[in-house]
Amino acid sequence: MRKVKYVILGAGTSGLTALGMIRKQTDDFVIINGGPLGTTCARVGCMPSKAMIQSANTFYNRSKLNEFGISGGESLEVNTEQVLQRVRRLRDRFTKGVQAGSTDGLSEENFIDGYAKFIGLNLLEVNGQQIQAERIIIATGSRPVVPGPWQVLGDKLLTSDEIFELETLPKRIAIVGLGIIGLELGQALSRLGVEVVGIEMQHTVGGLASPKAIDKAIELFSKEFAIHLGAAAQLETTESGVLVKFGDKSFEVDAVLASLGRRPNIDLLDIEKTGVTLNQRGMPNFDINTMQIDDTTMFIAGDVNAYRPILHEASHEGKIATLNAMNYPEIKSFARKTSLGVAFTDPDIGFFGANYRDLDLDEVVVTDFNLEKNNGRAIVMAEDHGVICLFGDKASRKLIGGEIVMPHAEHITHLLGWAVEQQMTVLDIIKMPFYHPVLEEAVKAALYQLYSQLYSKEERGIEAELTLLK
Ligand SMILES: Cc1cc2nc3c(=O)[nH]c(=O)nc-3n(C[C@H](O)[C@H](O)[C@H](O)COP(=O)(O)OP(=O)(O)OC[C@H]3O[C@@H](n4cnc5c(N)ncnc54)[C@H](O)[C@@H]3O)c2cc1C
């Protein structure tokens, strides 16, 4: 049996963060990765999806050209085969870059290609070899959820793992699940000329939770492709495609994209053999500030723990897990950063800070500001649509979170997320400079609205106006 100080399970974003830190300190480690290298983000996630979205949006912009006095846009064509080739070309560039800076050049001692499983506490098996590790970082990521019965659809059933591999796009597609991934890809495919039908069991899209943001998103996205909410899709194969049944409706498509969420790759690890207790969902107990599982020398980071399954969190958790693995038995608790999320739709959807679902509406003011005809820059850009929903804490008067559906929300989400991270009150933020004419003026208007709801009239009197000048 081989003995090592560190085992890293998974060479994704989280595992590679761990690798980068551990290899600086010691050679006494092994990183084990099952499946293709290059990370989910670069291979089948963030990067190929954004490459496809970029082509789709660039082509879609032809439909706005008349508004700007430019004619001929209607005659532009898209070559979707070339779009897909570009997606893969960029993907290869990104995955090669990731590998060059991480696993390339690792010796056989330090890298094992294979799926590992636990056979005991701190004891793993991979490719028939047993490895005992003093400290283990579990970073095995997640995979798309695909209901078992849907497998009969064969190659007509796609997930984000397959869609970027297509040589040509289907003519008609059903997107089942309109969370962030489904909404991003559904809109992109629609803009590339695919007839898209989106189906979502919940009465929301893009993971939104605040009512005004949900309404606005549904209003805007359903202008581009059919969106059906509130019931599950039933799928049947037909001779020419797939019959999608939804409530009392049905329609035929050539392919289905299952975007029902992602399942953490914890279930295939036999982690119960380590003796740790698992909850009903098969997850071990772990601390989100230390990433430690119970009081073991196992740490769990990235999508596999299902806490915040997005890239920068996978990387951050990889750091926390590795620092604690390296310093064990001294375990340090690290504060988590303000939550941020972006759907790269058009308009973007942004989330920052507190989740609307967790708000106590007796303690929090929720305000919404509509962009329609209310922001000069958005009007000039012909993108005057969207809504900014902000959450302000009544007691502290701090901005604590929000949901935004608006053009370039990816940037606005950062600004407001940073303000939450800095624990700024609404007054602190409106004291900041705002240029003109910019989209941030819509944020300013939303903040002033929140200001008037959180502060009394007296508090907003001339004295307060003077403090704003300071
Ligand atoms: C379509 C799509 C779009 C996305 N867009 C964004 C975005 O815009 N922004 C964003 O922040 N996030 C985005 N994400 C999410 C982001 O990609 C993930 O949060 C991130 O890649 C997770 O990294 P990770 O290290 O946890 O896992 P991964 O990168 O998945 O790495 C896990 C590795 O472990 C391997 N493995 C699994 N089981 C075993 C085993 N038993 N033994 C050894 N190895 C194993 C896997 O094969 C994999 O190589 C997107 C995801 C998808 C699918």
Report which residue type is found at 216: K
| Assigned domain for 333 exists | no
One domain, residues 17 and 115: yes
One domain, residues 227 and 244: yes
For 4-8, 245-249, 260-264, 380-384, which range has the lowest pLDDT when averaged over its residues?
245-249
Q: Which atom of ligand 1 is nearest to the CA of 318?
A: 25
User: Is residue 160 within 6 Å of ligand 1 at its C-beta?
Assistant: yes
Residue 263 CA to ligand 1 center (angstroms) comes to 11
Strand, coil or helix: 286? strand
At 457 the pLDDT is 87
One domain, residues 247 and 346: no
Q: How confident is the model at residue 247 (pLDDT cuts 50, 70, 90)?
A: confident
At 353 the pLDDT is 98
DSSP string, 325-389: HHHTTS----PPPPPEEEE-SSSEEEEEES-GGG--TTTEEEEEEE-TTT-HHHHHTT----EEE
One domain, residues 115 and 232: no
Residue 218 CA to ligand 1 center (angstroms) comes to 28
Q: How far apart are CA 464 and CA 304, in angstroms?
A: 49
Residue 333 CA to ligand 1 center (angstroms) comes to 24
Please say which residue of 286, 301, 327 terminates a domain.
Answer: 327
Residue 470 has pLDDT above 60, yes or no: no
| Assigned domain for 334 exists | no
| Assigned domain for 462 exists | yes
Give the residue numbers spanning the domain of 271.
2-144+263-327
pLDDT in tens, 348-385: 999 999 999 999 999 999 999 999 978 999 999 999 99
User: Is residue 313 within 6 Å of ligand 1 at its C-beta?
Assistant: no
Q: How confident is the model at residue 458 (pLDDT cuts 50, 70, 90)?
A: confident
Residue nearest to atom 19 of ligand 1 (CA): 310
One domain, residues 279 and 348: no
User: Is residue 40 within 6 Å of ligand 1 at its C-beta?
Assistant: yes
Residue 10 CA to ligand 1 center (angstroms) comes to 9
The DSSP element (H or E) to which 88 belongs, if any, is helix 80-100
Residue nearest to atom 40 of ligand 1 (CA): 115
One domain, residues 139 and 11: yes
Please say which residue of 230, 261, 292 terminates a domain.
Answer: 261
Let me know the angle formed at the C-alpha of 299 by 297 and 302, rounded to the nearest 5 degrees: 170
pLDDT in tens, 152-181: 999 999 999 999 999 999 999 999 999 999
Average pLDDT in the 211-221 region?
98
Residue 39 CA to ligand 1 center (angstroms) comes to 6
| Assigned domain for 73 exists | yes
One domain, residues 49 and 106: yes
CATH number at residue 62: 3.50.50.60
One domain, residues 122 and 268: yes
Domain count, the chain: 3
| Assigned domain for 135 exists | yes
Residue 425 CA to ligand 1 center (angstroms) comes to 36
User: Is residue 144 within 6 Å of ligand 1 at its C-beta?
Assistant: no
One domain, residues 252 and 313: no
One domain, residues 426 and 291: no
CATH number at residue 460: 3.30.390.30
Q: How far apart are CA 53 and CA 74, in angstroms?
A: 20
Q: Which atom of ligand 1 is nearest to the CA of 141?
A: 27
One domain, residues 292 and 371: no
Residue 44 CA to ligand 1 center (angstroms) comes to 8
User: Is residue 20 within 6 Å of ligand 1 at its C-beta?
Assistant: no
Q: How far apart are CA 237 and CA 253, in angstroms?
A: 10
Look at strands 249-253 and 111-113 and give their pairing: unpaired
